[in-house]
A = this chain, B = another copy of it.
Amino acid sequence: MEEVSSRPAGGPPLRADAQRNRIRILVAAEEVFTETGPGASTEEVARRAGVAIGTVFRHFPTKGDLLGAIMKRLLAELIESAGERGGGEGLFEFFTELTAQASYKRTVVGLLESGGTAVRLPEAVGHLSEAVGGLLSEAQAAGTVSPSVELPEVMALLVSVTHGALHGGWDAELRERTLAVVFAGLRPR
C-alpha cells in the first residue's frame, strides 16, 4: 500500500499548498469513487477534500484524469496482492478476495470492465493480466487447474463474477456457491 504521490509526473515542483491539496483531493476521490462508483460528481470530491471545484480541475484537467490517478493506485494494490500469492491455491484465493472486496471497490470493478480504456490505463490492466497469468501457471503446475484453461477466460470470469457480485449485491453464501461452480470448472476433471 504505497503512499499517495504528492506530485504529478514531470514538471516543476509544486508549491507547498498545492502539494497538500493534491493529496487531499486524491484521498477524497478514492473515498468517494470507492463508495459511489465512477458516477460520483467532481463537486462531491471537492467538497470532501475541502477545496473549491476549480482546484480539483487545476490538478486534474478532466474527470478522467482524476479517475485514472486513483485507478492506477488501486490497480497497483491488486497487482501486488496477486503477486504475493502463489502455489496451487493462489489463483483461487485471489479470485475470492477480489470478489469479496467488490462491494467496496466499485471503481476498480468499473475500470476492469472497460479494460482500462475509459481512463487510458491499458498497460496497468495488462500488468494485472500478467500477474493473474503467473498465478494461473503456478496453479496449473501444481495440478489444481486444468491445463486446457487459458488466461483470457480466467480474466473474463474474474471480471464478470466480480461485477456480478458488486451489482447483484450477492451475500457471502451466494458468492461462495457461485465461486464453487467456477472453481470446479477450472479444476482438472
Let me know if A163 is at the binding interface, CB within 8 A.
yes
Residues of A170-189 at the interface with B, using a CB-CB cut-off of 8 Å, are 170, 174, 177-178, 180-186, 189
Chain B residues, Cβ within 8 Å of A185:
180-186
Rounded to whole angstroms, the CA-CA distance of A107 and B106 in the bound complex is: 22
What's the least CB distance linking A59 to chain B, in Å? 29
**Are A149 and B113 in contact, with the CB atoms below 8 A?**
no
Query: What are 13 A-B residue pairs whose CB atoms fall within 8 Å in the complex?
Result: A113-B168, A153-B178, A156-B170, A156-B178, A159-B164, A160-B160, A160-B164, A160-B165, A163-B163, A163-B164, A163-B167, A181-B182, A185-B185
Number of A residues with CB within 8 Å of any CB on chain B: 30
**Are A168 and B164 in contact, with the CB atoms below 8 A?**
no
Number of copies: 2
**Residues of chain A at the chain B interface (Cβ within 8 Å):** 113-115, 146, 149-150, 152-153, 156-157, 159-161, 163-165, 167-168, 170, 174, 177-178, 180-186, 189
Please provide the 3 A-B residue pairs with the shortest distance between their CB atoms, ordered closest to farther: A185-B185, A160-B164, A181-B185
Chain B residues, Cβ within 8 Å of A161:
157, 160
A152 in complex: contacting residue of B150, B152, B177, B186, CB < 8 Å = B177
Chain B residues, Cβ within 8 Å of A182:
157, 181-182, 185
Task: Select from chain B the residue with minimum beta-carbon distance to A115.
Answer: B168
Chain B residues, Cβ within 8 Å of A181:
149, 153, 157, 182, 185-186
Rounded to whole angstroms, the CA-CA distance of A17 and B180 in the bound complex is: 55
Rounded to whole angstroms, the CA-CA distance of A75 and B114 in the bound complex is: 26
